[in-house]
Amino acid sequence: MKLYNSATQKREEFIPKDPSIVKMYTCGPTVYHYAHIGNLRSYIMEDVLEKYLRYAGYNVKRVMNITDVGHLTSDADEGEDKMLKGARREKKTVMEIAKFYTDAFFADCEKLNIKVPDVVEPATNCIDEYIKIIERLMEKGYAYFAGGNVYFDTSKLDKYYIFNDHDEEDLAVGVREGVEEDKNKKNKADFVLWFTKSKFEDQELKWESPWGMGYPGWHIECSGISMKHLGDYLDIHCGGIDNAFPHHTNEIAQSESYLGHKWCNFWFHVHHLNTTSGKMSKSSGEFLTVSLLEEKGYDPIVYRFFCLQSHYRKNLVFSYENLDNAVTAYNKLISRIAALKDEGEIDQSAVKELDGKFRAALDNDLNTSLAVTAVYDVLKYKTNDRTKLYLLGEFDKVLGLNLISAAEKAKNTEAKAEAASSESDPVIDELIAKRAQAKKDKNYAEADRIRDELKAQGIEITDTPQGTTWRKI
């Protein structure tokens, strides 16, 4: 498999250090708010990567952290802890906020068919790991104590900037939030490994350390958690492109200085989901969640389908118009699959050819849109339906689009709709027709209003490949 490696800025053959296991690490969410669909784009694409590695025959161990302490409002260690901000907003404790949004994150993942990684580790569980690494960095002269905090000294490195192929905008992340500069730093790029004094007064969670009561910096968490579960080497590290700098750059600096050797071979970065007015971000306040899409009548899997239709290294623009196009395409696809009959003998030569196409697409730097095309190639291919169903089931182990189960459901809904057609109600049918027209006219407010009006009358509507159905609740 060829993958683009952001550390070398080249497409390279992906070869794990130990062929018996791929060691994969993913930066997890900062659980102070709901994940937005931009965050989830990153997790969807990483999920496809993990599943494809397994499909290609690798054994994978994937680890993800949950950031529940130390991620400040600016990625460059300024501002206050995001968790504290969330706790204050909701008048709860940090741990209550962490529990609530961690559960919400995994509920969203489930709806999007994102597999839970083999190990999920909250940052607050591994304080001893961070202290061990920081102590060693101090001993080796890579870290210093100033103004009550411990900093990593970037001037000790021959090469600090690793990823230099991303936008100026991403590089500017450290100054984006316009907060004051930390005077304790010897060099501008130095970063905090352990906080005691800075922004400390109202920090809720703090631990004993050789440098006083305090809490870890965000970057050290990923190095510590990764080494705890995956050892001294990583095959692949994933995250959104905004994490490349400073977060991943700092992870590499501290991990390699601590270990004394190269740490991670491949860096897989997913580009951003943008709205028509710019990057979707939690801090901007204007963001979309999976629940919001559901409230508007969208099946979350359609959002996954929408993401798979474009390459992970291209920015993707979200609009309801684009999502509606994905709904239409997805529903048509499911109808075509629903029409297949489970008949015939598996045609091995067709399997070989079509599966070869699917693999070739994903071997080519995870080209998911070509992998989706391979699904259509199956439907067009001259072979029996059982072979097609078999291949679609196999491909869906990677794509996670519910191709088979949604087709089954569509068949059942169709049968039920036929049985219920005698019960049709002209008033409700007219409202449903008006809502369809409003959606067509992109008048989403009106479409939502009609849905709410029906709900108030005890009618629940569902958008299916065969059109909108309704039932009394």
Q: What residues line the site for ligand AMP (CB under 6 A)?
A: 27, 29-30, 38-39, 41-42, 67, 239-240, 242-243, 270, 272-273, 279-282
Asked whether position 27 contacts Zn ion by CB under 5 A, the answer is yes
Nearer to Zn ion, 134 or 222 (CB): 222
Closest CB 38 distance from ligand AMP, rounded Å: 3
Distances (CA, A) of 191 to 167, 182, 246, 279: 21, 10, 9, 25
Closest CB 277 distance from ligand AMP, rounded Å: 12
Three-class SS of residue 460? strand
N-terminal to C-terminal alpha carbon distance within the chain: 50
Interface map 315-334 toward Zn ion (x if CB under 5 A): --------------------
Closest CB 183 distance from ligand AMP, rounded Å: 27
**CB count in 10 Å sphere of residue 361:** 20
Task: Return the range that interacts with Zn ion (CB under 5 A); candidates 53-61, 222-230, 315-323, 464-472.
Answer: 222-230
Q: State the DSSP string of 325-349.
A: HHHHHHHHHHHHHHT--S-S---HH
Q: Counting beta carbons within 10 angstroms of the beta carbon of residue 469, is it exposed (0 to 12), middle (13 to 18) or buried (19 or more)?
A: middle
Closest CB 270 distance from Zn ion, rounded Å: 13
Written as one letter, the residue type at 65 is: N
Rg (CA), the chain: 25
Closest CB 281 distance from ligand AMP, rounded Å: 6
Letter string b/e over residues 348-358, b meaning 16 or more CB atoms within 10 A of that residue's CB: eebbeebbeeb
Nearer to ligand AMP, 281 or 364 (CB): 281
By CB under 5 A, the residues from 428 to 457 that bind Zn ion are none
Which of 184, 189, 194 has the alpha carbon at shortest distance from 214?
A: 194
Residue 240 binds: one of ligand AMP, Zn ion, none (C-beta under 5 to 8 A by kind): ligand AMP
Closest CB 279 distance from ligand AMP, rounded Å: 5
By CB under 5 A, the residues from 196 to 215 that bind Zn ion are none
Tell which one of 133, 222, 326, 459 touches Zn ion (CB under 5 A).
222
**Tokens of residue 54, six digits:** 């397994």
Task: Return the range that interacts with Zn ion (CB under 5 A); candidates 27-35, 51-59, 130-138, 331-339.
Answer: 27-35
Please say whether the beta carbons of 48 and 204 come within 8 A: no
Q: State the DSSP string of 47-90.
A: HHHHHHHHHTT--EEEEEEEB-S--EEETTTEEEEHHHHHHHHH
Which of 326, 222, 287, 301 has the alpha carbon at shortest distance from 39?
A: 287
Nearer to ligand AMP, 18 or 103 (CB): 103
Residue 82 binds: one of Zn ion, ligand AMP, none (C-beta under 5 to 8 A by kind): none
Nearer to ligand AMP, 314 or 440 (CB): 314
Nearer to ligand AMP, 41 or 359 (CB): 41
Closest CB 195 distance from Zn ion, rounded Å: 17
Nearer to Zn ion, 235 or 463 (CB): 235
Q: Which helix (H) or strand (E) holds 416?
A: helix 403-420
Task: Return the range that interacts with Zn ion (CB under 5 A); candidates 34-42, 102-110, 218-226, 429-437.
Answer: 218-226
Nearer to Zn ion, 131 or 244 (CB): 244
Closest CB 49 distance from ligand AMP, rounded Å: 13
Nearer to ligand AMP, 241 or 431 (CB): 241
Closest CB 329 distance from ligand AMP, rounded Å: 22
Three-class SS of residue 472? strand
What's the rounded Cα separation, in Å, for the pair 312 and 331? 23
Sequence-ordered alpha helix ranges (H) in 165-289: 168-171, 173-176, 218-230, 249-259
What's the rounded Cα separation, in Å, for the pair 207 and 213? 5
Residue 222 binds: one of ligand AMP, Zn ion, none (C-beta under 5 to 8 A by kind): Zn ion
Closest CB 222 distance from Zn ion, rounded Å: 3
Which of 372, 370, 378 has the alpha carbon at shortest distance from 347?
A: 378
Nearer to ligand AMP, 244 or 334 (CB): 244
Please say whether the beta carbons of 265 and 292 come within 8 A: no
By CB under 5 A, the residues from 120 to 149 that bind Zn ion are none
Please say whether the beta carbons of 221 and 121 come within 8 A: no
Nearer to Zn ion, 3 or 222 (CB): 222
Q: Which helix (H) or strand (E) holds 238?
A: strand 234-240
What's the rounded Cα separation, in Å, for the pair 263 and 56? 24
Q: Find the residue with minimal CB distance to ligand AMP.
A: 240
Q: Which residues bind Zn ion (CB under 5 A)?
A: 27, 222
